[in-house]
């Protein structure tokens, strides 16, 4: 089974009444929060350009996150 089958989507979590209450109490701008989390998600998906990663790629070895 794929991991996403067990984890709620971001928008589902933000729509949760308890989460909404916390967001409102903390005066969080939901649009800014979504933008920030999206940037983080994209950054985590991008391959990191490291010397170890380049060397492993040349040798056909799987990359290890450092």
Tens digit of pLDDT at every position of the chain (66 positions): 566 578 888 889 999 999 999 999 999 999 999 999 999 989 988 877 655 555 555 666 555 555
Q: Running DSSP on this structure, what letter comes out for residue 3?
A: G
C-alpha distance from residue 5 to each of 1, 2, 8, 9, 27 (Å) = 7, 6, 8, 10, 31
What is the pTM for the complete model shown?
0.54
The token pair at 13 is: 């979590």
Q: What does the pLDDT read at residue 7?
A: 84
């Amino acid at each position: 089974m794929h991991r996403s089958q067990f984890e709620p989507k971001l928008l589902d979590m933000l729509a949760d009444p308890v989460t909404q209450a916390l967001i409102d109490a903390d005066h969080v701008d939901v649009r800014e929060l979504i933008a920030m989390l999206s940037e983080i998600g994209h950054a985590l998906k991008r391959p990191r350009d490291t010397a170890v990663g380049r060397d492993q790629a040349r040798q056909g070895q799987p990359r290890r996150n450092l």
